[in-house]
Amino acid sequence: MNGFSTRAIHAGQAFDPTTGAVIPPVYQTSTFVQKSVGDLREGYEYTRGTNPTRDALQELIADLDGGNHGFSFASGLAAEDAILRALLQPGDHVLMGNDVYGGTHRLVNQILAAWGVELSTVEMSDVEAVRSAIKSNTKMLWVETPSNPLMKISDIEAVAAVGHESNLTVVVDNTFATPALQTPLALGADIVVYSATKYLGGHSDVLGGLVVTSSEEIAQRLASSSSLLARFRLRGRSS
């Protein structure tokens, strides 16, 4: 099995089959030619749904995180919004750490609250406090570790176990650690989310968000809510 550094360079980086270029090109197109209506070339139809350049990125992050499916978004908050809208309904409750990124808290507390989603926070490093804060309508446990800005550390494996006791979806914001230092799926998380703008980008020249999961059901719902079902052939690690 290749090491992390090798996979970080090569995963999702197949050579271009047309020219043999070893670096995949950037496909700056909105639309792909169809052989006939509904008969797609290599499954591509419209870049909102998928694009070979995005596929390469999605395959890379899925590989690095040990997941089966990767998704890319315009920003970290767009990635988070896709998760929340895909998996929650009005009346559902989200339990978050008390030091999550401010934009994450505002997204739920100010935007999704108007839709009927409830939010409460807890000291996520205290596993028993997490267990006590779970309510009958809690559907999602949102862990950010290290947290932003106080760099609080949570025990992902222990918190995920508590979440799964109540059949919750466990989301881990792995933005600060990146898969170089931490792979939440291996510790029991159902979903990993990133603001690629920060450490994954690294140079203050990229805005993006990424999501990884190994759950086929979650992947299907994310694809559906994100208008990606034009071609639901998610690139990533094979099951």
Please list the active-site residues. Answer: 48, 101, 173, 198
Place of tokens 């406090």: 129
Taking CA 55 as the corner, what is the angle to CA 50 and CA 57, rounded to the nearest 5 degrees? 130
Burial of 230 (0-12, 13-18, 19+ CB in 10 A): middle
- For 90-126, letters b (16+ CB in 10 Å) and e give eebbbbbbebbbeebbebbbeebeeeebbbebbebbe
Please state, in angstroms and rounded to a whole number, the distance separating the CA atoms of residues 209 and 136.
Answer: 31
CA distance 8 to 64: 7
Write phi, then psi, for 143 (nearest 5 degrees). Answer: -110, 130
Residues 6+ apart with CB under 8 A from 136: none
